């Protein structure tokens, strides 16, 4: 009973400087080279989780998920090769990190820090069931171990800072893969990207879908930032 009360209850929000520092730290990681290559694995996890969740909601059969050491990933589902279900499944990947970050910003706005951390852990456990390669399984286990350790072994202040860091990272980090995608496309190196698959499914130019990705990711970043900073300004 105590666990459930703590899970759905509220926790003390961190001091305003912590909110700002975690935001700056997330931005530094996203704009860096080596730290970004490591941290981008988190974006890939959420990207593939987005594909998987929408595939299931669309009535498709999820065959498996692979996460690779070059931070790429693949989610395979079975069902009709065309139609709205396939369109939404293809659309979900690039916008998933930003939308999840926006949802987390909403949770932080109500001071539900513990719930945020355990939602992350639950998603990782669900993905672990469907992962189909060793690197992917190890990545999920290590990431899950970090989340559980923070949730169970650290103070409420550390948990709050960690929750804000995750949220900032998803919001800020959700934008960079879209720009990377378009750079690859401009060099002819991403002919099977989600945007190009959407173009074949809908007869709409791939660049239009890239712009959709940008609108959603940048819009989520702007709105999420407003939600998190409003609490420390007013």
Q: Choose among 82, 118, 150: nearest CA to 9.
A: 118
**Do residues 180 and 61 touch, judged by C-beta distance below 8 A?**
no
Instruction: Extract the tokens encoding 152.
Output: 């169970």
What is residue 66's three-state secondary structure?
strand
**E strands of the chain, at which residues?**
61-67, 73-78
Instruction: Extract the tokens encoding 118.
Output: 């355990």
pLDDT confidence bin for 6, thresholds 50/70/90: low
| Start-to-end CA span in the chain (Å) | 35
pLDDT per residue over 25-71, tens digit each? 999 999 999 999 999 999 999 999 999 999 999 999 999 999 999 99
| pLDDT at residue 192 in the model | 86
**Do residues 99 and 223 touch, judged by C-beta distance below 8 A?**
no
**Do residues 36 and 30 touch, judged by C-beta distance below 8 A?**
yes
What percent of the chain is predicted at pLDDT more than 90? 78
All structural domains of the chain with their residue ranges: 14-229
Distance, in Å, from the CA atom of 45 to the CA atom of 224, rounded to the nearest integer, reads 20
**Do residues 88 and 202 touch, judged by C-beta distance below 8 A?**
no
Q: Judge whether residue 142 has pLDDT over 90.
A: yes
**Buried (b) or exposed (e) across 156-192, using 16+ Cβ within 10 A?**
eeebbbbbbbbbbbbbbbbbbbbeebbeebeeeebee
**Do residues 67 and 135 touch, judged by C-beta distance below 8 A?**
yes
- Look-up of token digits 């499914």: 201
Q: What is the mean predicted confidence (pLDDT) over 182-211?
A: 92
| pLDDT at residue 1 in the model | 46
pLDDT confidence bin for 3, thresholds 50/70/90: low
Residue 6: partners with Cβ closer than 8 Å, 6 or more residues away: 114
């Amino acid at each position: 009973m105590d666990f459930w009360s703590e899970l759905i209850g509220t926790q003390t929000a961190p001091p305003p400087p912590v909110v700002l520092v975690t935001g700056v730290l997330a931005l530094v990681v996203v704009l860096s080279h080596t730290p970004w290559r490591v941290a981008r694995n988190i974006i890939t996890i959420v990207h593939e989780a987005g594909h998987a969740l929408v595939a299931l909601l669309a009535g498709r059969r999820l065959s498996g998920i692979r996460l690779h050491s070059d931070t790429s990933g693949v989610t395979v589902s079975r069902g009709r090769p065309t139609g709205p279900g396939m369109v939404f499944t293809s659309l979900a990947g690039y916008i998933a990190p930003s939308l999840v970050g926006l949802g987390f910003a909403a949770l932080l706005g109500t001071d539900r820090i513990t719930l945020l951390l355990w939602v992350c852990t639950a998603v990782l456990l669900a993905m672990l069931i469907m992962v189909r390669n060793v690197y992917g399984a190890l990545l999920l286990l290590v990431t899950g171990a970090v989340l559980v350790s923070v949730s169970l072994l650290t103070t409420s202040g550390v948990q709050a800072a960690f929750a804000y860091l995750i949220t900032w990272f998803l919001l800020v980090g959700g934008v960079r893969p879209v720009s990377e995608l378009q750079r690859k496309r401009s060099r002819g190196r991403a002919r099977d990207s989600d945007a190009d698959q959407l173009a074949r499914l809908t007869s709409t130019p791939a660049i239009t879908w890239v712009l959709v990705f940008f609108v959603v990711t940048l819009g989520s970043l702007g709105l999420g930032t407003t939600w998190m900073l409003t609490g420390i300004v007013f």
